[in-house]
Structure 1
């Protein structure tokens, strides 16, 4: 008899309701011990409850629930009152009778028992979730069903409705990814256990979940294509902008190069203007000094000539020819030349007081010019003093100093060869000596 009860449980769990009923019909409950009898009545109660859930209509389901509750009452009469099974069946009976408050109280009390097995936890939370589904508290129902699914997996229970119910709620909430995971778990359990009614239940929601997954994939594909097109467009835009920027940078560099060259030319022009201005200032100083010097010199020379003229006229008038000869003999041209050169030296050194010092700095100490007592300039210095005055022509210098051109050239070459300054730069350095 007990074997038939277990067989009926397996057939009922597999959705083979007729076969389960046929097996239970052959059991004589009167000869069973109380423990087996309680299990028999509980299984009969579950049989009618499952039929009611399977039909799920307003006509047959209430009848099956009433019949199931009668068998549950018989089972409760035989079960110890404080056991898990007694508490669970009381809660299940209240649930099927529509007494949600009573069922909630009883089933919630069971969850407070820390000694529940994983299977008992799964059954209780799964049954309790139905109350929250009916009251519209979907989040609470999902929480309980999640606990039930985990407990079923941990207890290796394959005959379960928790995964299917959780998949349904997650799908309705829009969580297609997790709904797909749960429905696949429910399918695997149904196939493993061979529960036909579970397969039928799964088939009612699986197409919707898969269709939603397909829609999500298509949506993601469209988004991916859109993003790819957007990224491509942005990339092309960036390439275009980079090309434009590169061209602008090239133009900017070219313009900058032109500006730099113009700036360099401007600086060179400014430097040349500054040099020219400095030379003009030196020239103006030299002109001012030497104009004054030559005015004074010419005035003195004019006075001498005037005196000589008057004296000669007087001598001629008095016919004192011997005195004229004597007067002419007293004219000392050498002394006049020396006086002219001395005046030049004085005037030049007033303009260029540092000339001798700067000039000597261009020579080693043993080759520097040494002046005699009372001597302002010697011939070597005087040649380059005239050059500093702007007289570059050796012939003119020779005429002024009463030397031959070859002599002047020899002097210049000899002096340059002794200098520590290169020959080609020597006269330039002389010209750089500043006037005051």
Structure 2
């Protein structure tokens, strides 16, 4: 036991000495992290200025709108997935309004980039397949080819399959060759991507030479610097030079923070390397930063990746505290021979143990809260995905109906059949349309919460439970609390959605809660506790 404790103490001392070599860089990184809100504020100010351009211009021409949307997309693409996806969609819409095939094609390339950043490989390929490369100018083609190459490389890294990975890498190389043929040989893109190609092909020396040339001789933007240093760190990890890799990842993480890049892997990789080298304290701090960035950006793949690592490092953090406790016991054991100061050291150890227990409790509570947050984020992502698809389909159906109605009216106007127009308008059955809307809502909701009706009825005694008609999915009672489960707690909003008065909704809620087996105050908490699929 004594030998084990001595070895443990020696290991901790060695780790402390190793960490001292990185204190300067880690101090700089922590200083940059403390200023992240300032960097983000600068970016948000640029974004607000662009949005104000659209608002202040009144009704800007479509070309100005397209260019402004493109600028907003570029601001958001590595900052916030949802906003970048939104502006990629708007770019396509304006491209169609302009009837400009080049702008449409380019906007699909932009959509492909943001889909890949979120780890959606299939959707990325689907978007890129729709691009007619011949319509793009040289810059657009380069972007298309580089994005295609990156997609195949990322897919190869994700699969790590002996059969498919070489195929994907080969395809990526062809796209890089097509892209670099359009670049100047002394440009950042040419040197970086030829270096990346060499790395994937196993030519480590050429890859290092290209990337070091960019870092040492070129004036790079923060984002270019972060990408280059991150890639070079991967090489040093491969050739078992982790100290150099850590230095580069610290520099990359600082560049990402300065450029407000939330979709970045440098902080995650840095935390993993520090964890492997025993620096659990910094590893835990940086993995929490990586999770904050992943949540802010909204990248599913990154959240899953960080979420898988965070509990491991947090567990090591707890183990590290436990190791410290054992070291304290060692010191106590050695000092017990000094009878004069036994009591003094006993008090010190007791106080330290109390602090450690408090720290353990804080860490465990933090881990629990993080897990709850992750579960809520996963559920929110699922609800968002289902309802986005649902509303896109619904909107598409209504657009088709409006298009048919428009063509019919145009035809009647052309033939001057005005009575037929009145008949056509009178045939619109809004009640039926509203019923169909509710049915579609019910289907989408029950797909996410298939046990909702069962769990809802469990809150009532048998005679007060909802009994649905054949082929009926939800009734008004269920629909009100289905909206509550989706997070719509405002009674006015519920009344507006269901076409009822506010008083009617209040009466419904009061009547339903009055029949339940639980208190009125607890009823909606029970509804919110119903699990998604």
2:248 — aligned with what?
144
Structure 2, gaps ≥5 residues long: 1-104, 345-533
2:58 — aligned with what?
none
1:199 maps to 2:296 = no
TM-score by length of 2: 0.43
1:179 maps to 2:283 = yes
1:130 maps to 2:238 = no
1:101 — aligned with what?
205
**1:117 to partner: Cα distance:** 1.0
TM-score by length of 1: 0.52
2:270 — aligned with what?
166
Q: 3-state SS of the aligned residue for 1:143?
A: helix
**1:225 to partner: Cα distance:** 5.8
Q: Deviations over 1:197-243 (max 9, x none)?
A: 22232234323211111111222234446667887996765789xxx
Task: Rate the CA distance shift 1:46–1:176 in 2: closer, same or farther, 3 A.
Answer: same
Q: Deviations over 1:107-146 (max 9, x none)?
A: 1111123411111111100001111111101111111111
**1:67 to partner: Cα distance:** 0.8
Q: 3-state SS of the aligned residue for 2:217?
A: coil
1:17 maps to 2:131 = no
1:42 maps to 2:146 = yes
1:118 to 222, 228, 245: 222
1:208 maps to 2:304 = no
1:92 — aligned with what?
196
Q: In structure 2, what is the Cα distance between the partners aligned to 1:62 and 1:185?
A: 34
2:182 to 54, 75, 78: 78
**1:165 to partner: Cα distance:** 1.3
- Is the 1:8–1:24 contact (alpha carbons within 8 Å) kept by the matching residues of 2? yes
Bigger CA radius of gyration: 1
Q: Deviations over 1:37-64 (max 9, x none)?
A: 1100100000001101111232222211
2:137 to 33, 44, 54: 33
Q: 3-state SS of the aligned residue for 1:159?
A: coil
- Is the 1:35–1:79 contact (alpha carbons within 8 Å) kept by the matching residues of 2? no
**1:182 to partner: Cα distance:** 2.0
1:217 maps to 2:321 = yes
Task: Rate the CA distance shift 1:138–1:95 in 2: closer, same or farther, 3 A.
Answer: same
2:108 — aligned with what?
4
For the aligned residues, what is the CA RMSD? 2.3
Task: Rate the CA distance shift 1:33–1:226 in 2: closer, same or farther, 3 A.
Answer: same
- Is the 1:190–1:198 contact (alpha carbons within 8 Å) kept by the matching residues of 2? yes
Task: Rate the CA distance shift 1:226–1:133 in 2: closer, same or farther, 3 A.
Answer: closer
Task: Rate the CA distance shift 1:81–1:211 in 2: closer, same or farther, 3 A.
Answer: same
- Is the 2:336–2:342 contact (alpha carbons within 8 Å) kept by the matching residues of 1? no
Task: Rate the CA distance shift 1:77–1:114 in 2: closer, same or farther, 3 A.
Answer: closer
RCO (CA 8 Å, sep 6+): is it higher in 1 or 2?
Answer: 2
Task: Rate the CA distance shift 1:238–1:68 in 2: closer, same or farther, 3 A.
Answer: closer
Q: Deviations over 1:299-358 (max 9, x none)?
A: xxxxxxxxxxxxxxxxxxxxxxxxxxxxxxxxxxxxxxxxxxxxxxxxxxxxxxxxxxxx
Structure 1, gaps ≥5 residues long: 241-436
Superposition map of 1:7-406 within 5 A: 7-224=111-328
Count of residue pairs the alignment pairs up = 240
Q: 3-state SS of the aligned residue for 2:181?
A: helix
